[in-house]
Amino acid sequence: MPLRYAGPKPLISAHGIEFDLNKEDKFVYLSIAAELIQALDHEYVAEKRYSYIASGKPLPADEILSAIRLHDPLIDQEMQMRRHTAEQELREELERAQTNKLLSDEEREVLIKNIRLMHTYRVNRAVNKTVYYSAIASIASIIKAGHIDYIAAPMFPKFIHLFHSLQGVLAKLHPPIESAIDIYEEDGHLHTRLNILFRN
């Protein structure tokens, strides 16, 4: 099942389709997540500092999936299950729209057309979200297994978003791992760092 960018979250109504630009498709973070997996997944020597130069361009979708499969061999099944669930949810949404008595016939028809129009788009978003959280869980496992103290990166919004997601997953591990995000300046450039504060 190929990965592909869908777009921001659609807001579908009987009056049209709008897009919530604050709810970007998780696909935009997948290349960075895959590169982090590649950068972090190795043996570690105590007290040694490691660095990784990012490619600067998005990885192809097949390379993203290959990196994630190394830590989540069931990702293809998870994607298929998420696709199936999303399609079932959309069928139920369509049924509700078809029986909605609060709408006029014209509004109901517009709503049904809009739901059908955005079907593939919304399924792709759902699958991308599943792949994203699989990648985040993989990074969290690598941090735990490698006893990584911190990860630093340029202060770009995508890294901040990814670090926030990582914090949430690390906090849910058993035992939980506490972390904090710092922003600092180095050599005239802003950077962000995910610090691992406490682990049992």
Of 150, 149, 147, 140, nearest in space to 191 by CA: 150
Q: What is the pLDDT of residue 2?
A: 80
Q: Is the entire prediction scored with pTM above 0.85?
A: yes
pLDDT in tens, 124-174: 999 999 999 999 999 999 999 988 999 999 999 999 999 999 999 999 999
Upstream peptide bond of 175 is cis (omega within 30 degrees of 0): yes
Looking only at Cα atoms, what is the longest distance across the chain?
Answer: 69
On average, the pLDDT of the chain sits at 93
- Tell me the residue length of the chain: 200
